């Protein structure tokens, strides 16, 4: 099949890197980057690090509000699809790029394949929830990562074209994660960042969701990170949009919170694996923390990755922006005296099997050709 793959964000680049070898072994792929994560720090460095080829088409559509960004992407993508004449358009996840790929293809009568179909937070206030629901209802192939995702689709009356394939990000984490096990990997990262990081001696955090860029929400999670930093240093990989929102609101973070730019894939895995705990609102980071077995506080009221929480043995907890609960759970999951030992044991014992999602997706598309 001739397939146009549409990406636009860092998590989508990670998924594309996991799928591309299997996809290109069986199909003719055209790679399109919308530019949704539009600077070198957010996305550009991932191409080299993950051995991704440069896109066949770069739309350069970054920034702006949801409506503006979506409209500009649609205008830029449609003529590419007309010119490339693909048999299918493949989209990943739940971003505006996902929505645009599904809409543009459907309007042109091109079949849609959705990777990570069926995920639901059941919170329509989240832009991501709208994007994933629309993409699912427009898709011919729905590649679900979990049984719960399949059940969600069934509840919405979607059963045709649904296939549970496992998680693409697990495939890549399995391939790359072994490089992060050695404490020397953390030492190299610490040296590059200019931070005195030791196994279990810090917490790692990311915050980027739209709901967590509202002033009240930013004050709340800033207090949570400040409380965590009173126990051990916190390293916050700060999304440019979140940084801008903090500046606009005139908010500052505790001095013990070390703010760094978003990091490459291997560096981020290394920082998570050796941390005492992870605090995040990111779906991707949640899953990585689960595979790495690093304690994780989810800074959202709910998550679409329900199995990751349920199967974590209490190591992954949805705390929202509840300051008291976050402090209590962090003390339980990463006690100061034990955190270095626990982090060292976790890293030395890391052994993650691949999910085989890439092979399953490529084979399913081949069977439909």
Q: Which residues are catalytic?
A: 208
Distances (CA, A) of 309 to 144, 287, 298, 301, 306: 18, 9, 10, 13, 5
φ, ψ for residue 84, nearest 5 deg: -80, -25
**Alpha helices (H) along the chain:** 10-26, 45-49, 66-84, 96-107, 127-138, 147-155, 168-177, 183-193, 215-229, 240-249, 265-273, 283-292, 306-310, 323-333, 339-348, 357-367
Distances (CA, A) of 231 to 115, 227, 228, 257: 40, 7, 6, 11
Residues 6 or more apart whose CB falls under 8 angstroms from that of 51 comprise: 17
- For 230-278, give the DSSP string: TTS-EEEEE-HHHHHHHHHHT----TTEEEE----HHHHHHHHHTSSEE
């Amino acid at each position: 099949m001739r397939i146009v793959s549409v990406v636009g964000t860092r998590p989508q680049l990670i998924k594309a890197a996991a799928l591309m070898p299997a996809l290109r072994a069986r199909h003719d792929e055209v790679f399109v980057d919308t530019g949704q994560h539009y600077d070198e720090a957010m996305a550009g460095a991932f191409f080299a690090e993950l051995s991704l080829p440069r896109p066949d088409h770069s739309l350069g559509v970054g920034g702006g509000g949801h409506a503006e960004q979506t409209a500009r992407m649609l205008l830029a993508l449609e003529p590419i699809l007309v010119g490339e004449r693909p048999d299918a358009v493949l989209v990943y996840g739940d971003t505006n790029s996902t929505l645009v790929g599904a809409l543009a293809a459907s309007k042109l009568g091109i079949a849609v394949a959705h990777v990570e179909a069926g995920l639901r937070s059941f919170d329509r206030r989240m832009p991501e929830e709208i994007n994933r629901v629309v993409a699912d209802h427009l898709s011919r192939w729905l590649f679900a990562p979990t049984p719960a995702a399949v059940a969600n689709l069934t509840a919405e009356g979607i059963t045709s074209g649904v296939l549970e394939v496992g998680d693409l990000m697990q495939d890549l984490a399995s391939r790359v994660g072994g490089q992060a096990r050695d404490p020397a990997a953390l030492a190299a990262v610490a040296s590059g960042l200019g931070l005195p990081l030791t196994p279990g001696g810090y917490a790692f955090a990311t915050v980027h969701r739209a709901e967590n860029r509202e002033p009240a929400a930013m004050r709340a999670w800033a207090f949570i990170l400040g409380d965590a930093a009173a126990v051990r240093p916190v390293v916050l990989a700060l999304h440019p949009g979140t940084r801008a929102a903090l500046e606009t609101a005139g908010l500052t973070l505790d001095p013990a919170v070390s703010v760094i730019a978003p990091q490459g894939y291997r560096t981020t895995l290394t920082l998570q694996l050796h941390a005492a705990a992870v605090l995040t609102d990111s779906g991707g980071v949640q899953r990585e923390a689960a595979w790495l077995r690093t304690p994780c506080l989810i800074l959202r009221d709910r998550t679409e990755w329900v199995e990751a929480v349920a199967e974590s043995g209490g190591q992954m907890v949805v705390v929202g922006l509840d300051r008291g609960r976050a402090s209590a759970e962090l003390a339980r999951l990463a006690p100061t005296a034990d955190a270095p030992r626990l982090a060292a044991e976790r890293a030395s014992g890391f052994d993650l099997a691949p999910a085989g999602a890439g092979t399953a997706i490529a084979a399913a598309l081949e069977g439909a050709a």
